[in-house]
Amino acid sequence: YMIFNTYNTFDRKRAEVYFEKLISSGKIIELSEKKKARTLNQNALFHLWVQVIADHVGYTSIENCKRDIKRALLGTKEEASRITGEIQQVDYKTSEMSSSELSSFMDKMKIWAQSDLGCYLPYFGDPGYEEMVKEYRYK
C-alpha cells in the first residue's frame, strides 16, 4: 500500500496519477483514509503509566509490562504472515492507534489499573499528576 500526504502538492499529484493508473486497470481497489495518529502527549502519558504499573507490580522490563497490559485489556489479534501466509496471533501496537483509539484504551487502562491492581493513574489535572511526572519522567 502507499501513503500520500494530501497537504503536500507533490504528494497530491503523485496520488492523482497513481489513482488514475489504478482506475484504468479495471481491478477492484481499496481506498482508505489514514486516521489521525496519537498525540505526543498521549504517547508520553501512556509510557509514564506503564512505568507506574511496572513499578507497582514489580516488573523489571518496561516492554514486558507494556505487552502484558495490552494483552490483558485488548487480547491479541490474528494476522497473516506476508511470507508464509500462516495465521498468527500478534499483539496490538499503540503506535498504530489513532488518537481516539488510544484515548479509549487509556480510559480502560486507568479503570483496570485501579480496580484490578489497586494502582492509581492520574490524567493531567488529576490529583497527583505532577508528582507522578516528577517521579517517573526520566526513569
Q: Which residues make Cβ contacts (< 8 Å) with residue 40, sequence separation at least 6?
A: none
Write the DSSP string, 25-48: HTS-----PPPPBPPHHHHHHHHH
| Exposure letters 75-99 (e unless 16+ CB within 10 A, then b) | eeeeeeeeeeeeeeeeebebeebee
d(CA 54, CA 95): 20
- Tell me which of 62-71, 77-86, 100-109, 119-128 is least confident: 77-86
Q: Between the CA of residue 39 and those of 58, 63, 91, 94, 95, what are the distances in Å? A: 28, 20, 21, 11, 10
Give the pLDDT confidence score for residue 7 in this predicted structure. 80
pLDDT digits (tens, 9 = 90+) for 46-65: 999 999 999 999 999 999 99
Give the pLDDT confidence score for residue 36 in this predicted structure. 64
Residue located via cell numbers 504472515: 81
Rounded mean pLDDT, 40-44? 85
pTM above 0.85, yes or no: no
Give the pLDDT confidence score for residue 35 in this predicted structure. 63
Give the pLDDT confidence score for residue 138 in this predicted structure. 73
pLDDT band at 6; cut points 50, 70, 90: confident
pLDDT band at 98; cut points 50, 70, 90: confident
Q: Which residues make Cβ contacts (< 8 Å) with residue 2, sequence separation at least 6?
A: 18
C-alpha grid cell, residue 95? 503506535
pLDDT digits (tens, 9 = 90+) for 7-26: 889 989 999 999 999 999 98
Dihedrals φ, ψ of 77, to 5°?
-130, 155
Residue located via cell numbers 481506498: 31
